[in-house]
Structure 1
Amino acid sequence: MHQRVTSSVAEACPPVRADKRRIAVNFSRAASTYDYAAALQDRVAARAMLGLPSDRKPEFVLDLGSGTGRQTIQVAGHYPQATVLGMDLAIGMASHARNCFPNLDWCSGDIELLPFKDNRLDVVFSSLAIQWCTLNRVLEEVHRVLKPGGLFVFSTLAAGTMHELKQAWSQVDRHVHVNGFDAHSTQKHCVQQSDFQLHSFKLQTETIYYPTVMQLLRDMKALGVNTVPSRQNGLMSRHRLLKLQDAYDVFRTEKGLPLSYEVIYGILHKPLLIA
């Protein structure tokens, strides 16, 4: 953890679990290319930030899955009086953010094992990060580190995300190429069963358009989001690429080839203690 992170908030970082190391490695490799391909991520983060209230004066704010730090610096601008912390699973991302924005605090850690003390944070923000985790574990951890009355504002992904790519790949082979996510209703039920008070939990489709399949695949690699645990390794042959292009072209519109994301925007409150 970066030495500037105050000891009143932080604890020692536990080691990253083995099943998440591949995700961390891919995102670390993407640190230098991420921002060039992050049109969807920027759009979703901007929408998620609309849930951050302006009337609060938080002392400590945490950005979970802070990536290259571009959204974290915007959160810091929203709460200029606060100590803003950025945390990412990928060490490479945290290092990149620290180099770009040395005035903020950065660390690497697992969202399911947060390196922060109980009841210390006022606001936790997260955009397109917790989909890599088990939701009920995320809710338990965020609830633990938030002060009573604290706020959790986030975006995450739901079932149906990248359905065009999934369907196109199904015409090429039987391997898993696209990550699956729980349905909006399933995730909402999980939130309702948590210790949070649900303020908002909305589903919205966000679509990015690409001129070619090759550009789409390049952007996914640049973003580091091409990690599928069960996917078979191997190079993309020309024959398979052409087959994928033909299968994907049925979705083509005047804007190009669509890639749709089913995005959940959530706002949760930790209840105040009752005397």
Structure 2
Amino acid sequence: MCRPARADKRRIAVNFSRAAKTYDYAAVLQDRVAARAMLGLPADWLPDCVLDLGSGTGSQTTLLAEHYPQATVLGMDLAIGMASHARSSYPELNWCSGDIEHLPFKSNALDVVFSSLAIQWCDLSRVLEEVYDVLKPGGVFVFSTLAAGTMHELKQAWSSVDRHVHVNTFDAFSTQKHCVQQSGFQLHSFKLQTETVFYLTAMQLLRDMKALGVNTVPSRQNGLMSRQRIFKFQQAYEMFRTDKGLPLSYEVIYGILRKPQR
């Protein structure tokens, strides 16, 4: 079982729905990772149906549509607010709300499934089963997700303030690779790369996380954060400062899988 400790889907959907209008302004890391993940898309192929899993505001879905202008491109997100925002921003494309672990599509229906920084909220084994089912034989799953060690600076800084859970945990790269190897997919590429974003201040970092809707964790204390605790957090984070600013590191997995031909 490849299941990271994570918050429940309802809270995840609510947080991302709230962030729909602010997400694109703060999505520096997300845009960078999506662009690198898209380098794995088949270039010499003319697919009929392409799905963007966890399509968010739709900015990456539009790039998929440009990459495959002949294809029907669909964006799907768990957060209804995100799907609604994408629909209003890009009405020429197709949008729906749905659960990655329970895909609402027929078997053998899609040629390409793309997903960038979305499946880390899910059970990877379940995601692979679902994507395998909806892909046509020979279809491709191109994705990025997160591995253990992600946001270690944030986790360490908060650990000096209290014992509450402030940062999500993710499975190790080796654990996720094992899941892929057991899935039935042909593994074309599965690589780990550290991606880092730098901030001027710790408060800017926290504001961006809220703007992105990624501040959902399995458990968190209720109530407002006191000024004293915030100050202590800021002091703790300063130990990581570099010439570029305060770093926040992500351990990103880039994967390219293919469903075998019959």
**TM-score for both structures, normalised by structure 1:** 0.92
Aligned-partner Cα distance in 2 for 1:89–1:96: 13
2:113 aligned to 124, 128, 138, which one?
124
Q: More displaced, 38-47 or 226-235?
A: 226-235
Runs of 4+ in 1 over 2 A off after TM superposition: none
Give the aligned residue type for 1:103.
E
Give the aligned residue type for 2:120.
Q
Aligned-partner Cα distance in 2 for 1:148–1:193: 17
Give the aligned residue type for 1:264.
I
Q: Secondary structure at the match of 1:111?
A: coil
Aligned-partner Cα distance in 2 for 1:194–1:220: 32
Within 5 Å, give how 1:109-188 maps onto structure 2. 109-188=98-177
Aligned-partner Cα distance in 2 for 1:202–1:227: 26
Give the aligned residue type for 2:178.
H
Question: Could you list the runs of 5+ residues in structure 1 that have no partner in the other structure?
Answer: 1-17
Whether 2:60 is the aligned partner of 1:71: answer yes
Aligned-partner Cα distance in 1 for 2:223–2:152: 22
Aligned-partner Cα distance in 2 for 1:21–1:106: 20
- The aligned residue for residue 59 of structure 1 is 48
Whether 2:225 is the aligned partner of 1:236: answer yes
2:9 aligned to 9, 20, 29, which one?
20
Deviation of 1:133 (Å): 0.1
Q: More displaced, 146-155 or 19-28?
A: 19-28
Aligned-partner Cα distance in 1 for 2:31–2:63: 11
Q: Secondary structure at the match of 2:191?
A: strand
C-alpha distance after superposition, 1:6-26 (max 9, x if no partner): xxxxxxxxxxxx931110000
Aligned-partner Cα distance in 2 for 1:48–1:249: 31
Give the aligned residue type for 1:95.
S
**TM-score for both structures, normalised by structure 2:** 0.97
- The aligned residue for residue 204 of structure 1 is 193
Give the aligned residue type for 1:242.
F
Give the aligned residue type for 1:30.
A
Deviation of 1:264 (Å): 0.1
Aligned-partner Cα distance in 1 for 2:24–2:118: 15
C-alpha distance after superposition, 1:170-205 (max 9, x if no partner): 000000000000000000000001110100000000
- Root-mean-square deviation (CA, aligned residues, Å) is 0.8
C-alpha distance after superposition, 1:227-266 (max 9, x if no partner): 0021212212110111001111000001100000000000
Q: Secondary structure at the match of 1:152?
A: strand
User: What percentage of aligned pairs have identical amino acids?
Assistant: 83
C-alpha distance after superposition, 1:136-190 (max 9, x if no partner): 0000000000000000000000000000000000000000000000000000000
Aligned-partner Cα distance in 2 for 1:49–1:152: 11
- The aligned residue for residue 255 of structure 1 is 244
Query: Taking CA–CA contacts closer than 8 Å with sequence separation of 6 or more, which of the two structures ends up with the larger relative contact order?
Result: 2
- The aligned residue for residue 106 of structure 1 is 95
Aligned-partner Cα distance in 1 for 2:256–2:172: 18
1:41 aligned to 30, 45, 60, which one?
30
1:84 aligned to 70, 73, 91, which one?
73
Deviation of 1:54 (Å): 1.2
